Chains A and B, each alone.
Chain A
Amino acid sequence: MKKTIFVVALSIAGFIAVWRFEPGPVHNTSAIAQAPPASVTAPSTSAPPPTAAPATSATPSSPPRTSTSDSADTTVTTRGSAESSRYGTVQVQVTFTGTRFTAITLLQAPDSGRSLTALPRLQEEAMQAQSADIDTVTGATETSESYKTSLQAAIDARGNR
């Protein structure tokens, strides 16, 4: 009997542990990948909690004001195209300060499957690369392509201004 109680207690503990396990990126999924200067005007989505920032901390922490290549520090927000695949629709909105992205917001995104982990990675890669020329995330090829196309469209839209 004592053994049974012990086993049951152990099982419940194990079950709770498994139940509460939160996989890495998925729960940090920030719909917005944001660079430190938070002077963003556009996002309709609420800003992510500060704890989500480390995910994008690889972006230069120095404010764009100090960057030399830039002539105008104006903040511009453009929208990318809505790209659909069978896994859902991806559409981004990019906030530029000068020519740098300071935020990429997901206006539309699939809410399930492999895309869940793929999108945060794509966001991070795009912020680092400061371009749409990024690697496809494995296992989410179509979502990655949608993301890149939409992002490129947003960048093009900025260029046309």
Chain B
Amino acid sequence: MTQTAEATRSAIRPRIAAKSGLFLFLGANVAAVTVLFAQAGVSQNVLITIGRLAGMYGALAMAFQLLLVARLPWLDRRIGMDRLTTWHRWTGFTILWTLLGHLVFITFGYAEVSDKGVVDELVEMANQLEGILRALVAFAVILIVGGASAKFARKRLAYETWHFIHLYTYAAVLLAFTHQIALGQSFAGSDTAKAYWWTLWLGAGAAVFAGRVALPLWRNLRHQLRVTAVVSEAPDVVSVYMTGKHLDKMPAKAGQFFLWRFLTKDRWWQANPFSLSAAPDGRGLRLTAKALGDSSSGLRALKVGTRVFAEGPYGAFTTIHQRRPNALLVAGGVGITPIRALLEDIDGHVVVLYRVRNQADAVLLPELNELAKARGAMVSLLTGPDQAVGPRGVMLGPANLHMMVPDVHERDVFVCGPPGMTAAVLRSLRELKVPSAQVHAERFSLAA
């Protein structure tokens, strides 16, 4: 049974395909840039040579960064926005360091050649060379954006403030790009180099425009979502039902989320990531959210008929990554929302573990039980304080997991919950030696 079921799945795992595709793309570009650098020739000054190389890699990293944030559906469905966000962070560090290297080495190099002080040289270049001032401003902007994204700053900033600062990166990219056109040795060196850089930048720009602007606008014009009902699930949890046009054509899958904007006077500027809490049925959508910040609690006050602007669907927490015929779904708290949707969509025998502090927190439990009954799935509610330890260790520890789901090795495991719980479950699964290809986790807190 296992054999036939696996044969029907594609030979190459989608995530592996997307990852290798991205890495191949990046590798090919690094090679191309290196060749262009070699063609342009080295300067007699070593510092200048290093600075130029750093600048070229920095430009490449910036273009790659644009691709990562473009939210192209193909990549997002396969890799997931949480992983892409992690890569985005690393690419961000790369950009910061390469550009700093570019600035420092070039300035020191030219200062050495011209026998001037470093500051004098920098001021002179900014005053006399096209694009130096732009590059300096771009770098300053990138420093500010990077600083605002550092963990300690990020915690103190409202999401909207942070996002607003982050948008300045586009201005920095534009300034940096014109700097490269004006002064790039390799850029001006040959027609091949020129063609390469233009293609790279135009491609990156087109990806961002398509994924961040054109696609969301088009989808919302097409579907025109409106709120049809707001239902309280628990004192601090609320479900929002929506409907729209041509929803059967919307490529959303159970387990995915959208960035929702409710177009009322005081909250249109807030975009919040909430998962669909029911598999899309082609007629309506439903999200369920817990009142964590001021945004979620405001959902309760939404009026029927409110227009909704939704960016998405996003996320790789779907059945396209399923490897095995049967599944285990593990939910923690409000992480039940995508799990509840997956339960409708997933094939085979399903076990659901639903971890909450106490029974009252177990939102959507009645419909979960109903669904389970209809399709022969098993739902276990695990209640108790966070650190509760029983005879077999912590509640979601390896021993307990193995007892509750003895065939866990044979199943795909989907985990969604608060970061601490998700990490604990992943740890247990590693200890139980469940193959990592079968483990799927949505890092909920990173979705923004």
- Residues of chain B within 8 A of A22, CB atoms compared: 130
Given known contacts A138-B110, A141-B113, A18 and B129 CB-to-CB distance under 8 angstroms: no
A27: chain B residues at CB < 8 Å are 130
A61 beta carbon closer than 8 Å to chain B? no
A24 contacts the other chain (Cβ, under 8 Å)?
yes
Please tell me if the beta carbons of B114 and A138 are within 8 angstroms of each other in the complex: yes
Question: In the complex the two chains form, is B133's CB within 8 Å of A113's CB?
Answer: no
Considering the complex, give the chain A residue whose CB is closest to the CB of B42: A86
**Is B175 an interface residue, CB under 8 A from the partner?**
yes
**Cross-chain contact B175 with A24 (CB below 8 angstroms):** no
Docked-complex contact B188 and A112, CB < 8 angstroms = yes
- Bits for B323-336, please: 1 = Cβ < 8 Å to A, else 0: 00000000000000
Q: Would you call the interface of chain A mostly helix, strand, loop, or mixed?
A: helix
Neighbouring A residues of B259 by C-beta, 8 Å: none
| Docked pose: A24 CA to B124 CA in angstroms | 10
**Interface range on chain B (Cβ under 8 Å from partner):** 20 to 34
A40 is an interface residue with CB less than 8 A from chain B: no
**Binary flags per residue of A1-26, CB closer than 8 Å to B gives 1, else 0:** 00010000001000100110111111
Q: Is the CB of B41 within 8 A of A86?
A: yes
CB 8 Å contact bits of A46-88 with B (1 = contact, 0 = none): 0000000000000000000000000000000000000000100
CA distance in complex: A51, B272 (Å): 57
B365 within 8 A of A: no
How far does the alpha carbon of A27 sit from the alpha carbon of B129 in the complex, in Å? 9
Q: Mark B157-169, 1 if CB is under 8 A from A, else 0.
A: 0000000100010
Contact B44 A141 (CB under 8 A): yes
Q: Is A102 an interface residue (CB 8 A)?
A: no
CB distance from A22 to the nearest CB of B (A): 8
A116 to B188, CA, bound (A): 12
Q: Tell me the smallest distance from the CB of A85 to a CB of chain B, in Å.
A: 10
Q: Point out the residue from A15, A23, A86 that lies within 8 Å of B129, measured CB to CB.
A: A23
Contact A117 B128 (CB under 8 A): yes
B324 CB to closest chain A CB (Å) equals 49
- A139 with B164: CB separation less than 8 A: no
Which residues on A sit within 8 Å (CB–CB) of B126?
Answer: 23
Whether A24 lies near B44 (C-beta < 8 A) is no
Residues of B within 8 A of A26 (CB): 128-130
Q: Are A111 and B188 in contact (CB under 8 A)?
A: yes
How close is B123's CB to chain A, nearest CB, in angstroms? 11
Select which of B128, B132, B183 is within 8 A of A113 by beta carbon. Answer: B183
For A25, the chain B residues whose CB sits under 8 A away are 128
Residues of A within 8 A of B223 (CB): none
Instruction: Check if B220 is an interface residue, CB within 8 A of chain A.
Output: no
The residue of chain A having its C-beta at the shortest distance from the C-beta of B160 within the complex is A4
- Complex interface bits, A110-128 against B, C-beta within 8 A gives 1, otherwise 0: 0111101100000000000
Contact: A18 with B130, CB < 8 Å?
Answer: no
> Are A116 and B130 in contact, CB atoms less than 8 angstroms apart?
yes
Which residues on the B side are within 8 Å of A15 (C-beta)? 171
A138 touches B128 (CB 8 A): no
Whether B168 contacts A23 by the Cβ 8 Å rule is no
The answer to whether B129 touches A138 (Cβ under 8 A) is no
Query: Which A residues from 93 to 143 make CB contacts under 8 A with B?
Result: 111-114, 116-117, 138-139, 141
A-facing mask of B93-132, CB < 8 A → 1, else 0? 0000000000000000010011110000000001111101
A23 and B113 in contact, given A4-B164, A113-B188 (Cβ under 8 angstroms) = no
The minimal Cβ–Cβ distance linking A109 to chain B, given in whole angstroms, is: 12
CA distance A114 to B44 in the complex (A): 14
Contacts of B128 in A (CB 8 A): 23-26, 117
Whole-angstrom distance between the Cβ of A87 and the nearest chain B Cβ: 8
Known: A18-B137, A24-B127, A25-B128. 11 other contacts (CB 8 A): A4-B164, A18-B133, A23-B132, A26-B130, A111-B188, A112-B188, A113-B183, A116-B129, A116-B130, A117-B128, A141-B44
Closest 9 CB pairs of A and B: A138-B114, A112-B188, A86-B41, A117-B128, A139-B110, A18-B137, A26-B130, A23-B128, A24-B128
B interface residue numbers (CB < 8 A to A):
41, 44, 110, 113-116, 126-130, 132-134, 137, 164, 168, 171, 175, 182-185, 187-188
